[in-house]
A and B are shown apart, each in its own frame.
Chain A
Amino acid sequence: MEIKLKKYSSTYIIEVVGDMDLYSSFELKNVVTKMLAKDIKNYVVDLAKVDYIDSSGIGVLIHIFSNIKKLNRILKISNVHGSVEKVIKLTKLSQYFPIVGSVKEALIQIEQAKKVQ
């Protein structure tokens, strides 16, 4: 698994590339934990290039979303597809996770949320 970071305004786009499985998922948790410590406010986790997720990966998504929410920061998860979408449905978390269609949509929603704040 590889993690690529891009910045757009005050939002960081975290592009995950590869499998989010029992051997690699913790890397995303570590990256987000460091970013939270650096006071980064808005996050998009883009899963366009993730075709496999297991319970460890789901656990990491729950962990980062819950920590980001606790600090009143914003997370969007984009481009959930294929079996990743199916596994999220099997765990019944589709309604809970802040899932949006695309990175563009995520950025628009974050901008709108910032205006309200």
Chain B
Amino acid sequence: MFEHKEIIIDDNNKLLNREGLFLKEFQSDFRQVRFFSMVIVQKAPPEIKEINLLEQQISELIKNAVKHGNNKDINKKVRIWAAFDTSFAHVIVEDEGEGFKQLEDWNEFNKKRSECFENQDFDAMEKYFAYRTDKSDENDGGNALFATLEYWDGGVVFNNKKNCIAVYKNFEKKKHGIDLNK
């Protein structure tokens, strides 16, 4: 059955509640995006790290905040709130930029993209591989948020200003090891 997910825009969404989450602040140093993500992820239990998948997914959120939100302005901060447990990951990333103005447009783009994938329409699909704005550069994959929406199965929410993203993922408790084929 065709299931369409979208990014929610809602200041009052419970995922934006920072209660019980720890806070880390970083300057917008693009060279350190992956390092920042590693600092956050080291607080997560190994069961939910899936080798480096959790780090990779958080790194995308930080990259968007540093690069697209704060335009790599070293004087602007990125604030990250997070909480982890063996059954969930909850992360909020806020930048000091003007907000992701094209968010509604992105949702519409993603809807069309999902329809192409659902119909296995590979020719039409090529138009939807990357979401670009006039600020995108050649190193932007333009596909990070598609994976964000798939990975964070408990929801992806922006505040109304659209400079703060909250994400939540549920993990099944596993007896041992990591099943990479799942």
Contacts and interface: CB of A to CB of B under 8 A. Distances in A.
A21 B53 contact: no
A87 B130 contact: no
Chain A interface extent, by class: 20 to 34
Contacts of B125: 96
Contact of A91 (B33, B52, B147): B147
A54 B56 contact: yes
Contacts of A90: 146-147, 150-151
Given A56-B139, A56-B141, A62-B130, A86 B122 contact: no
B180 A54 contact: no
Contacts of A21: 34, 59
A82 B180 contact: yes
B17 interface: no
A23 B138 CA distance: 13
Contacts of B143: 55, 58-59, 62, 91
B114 to A, nearest CB: 8
Given A66-B126, A82-B180, A52 B141 contact: no
Contacts of A112: none
B51 A83 contact: yes
Contacts of A4: none
B60 A83 contact: no
What range describes how many residues of B lie at the interface?
A: 20 to 34
A86 B146 contact: no
Contacts of A85: 180
Contacts of B129: 62, 66, 93
Interface string B134-153: 00001111111011001100
B141 A55 contact: yes
B60 A86 contact: no
Interface in A49-89: 51-60, 62, 66, 81-83, 85-87
B51 A51 contact: yes
A95 interface: yes
Given A55-B147, A58-B141, A62-B143, A86 B53 contact: yes
B109 interface: no
19 contacts: A23-B31, A26-B138, A51-B51, A52-B52, A52-B56, A56-B139, A58-B147, A59-B130, A59-B139, A59-B140, A59-B143, A62-B141, A81-B180, A83-B51, A83-B52, A90-B150, A90-B151, A92-B150, A95-B120
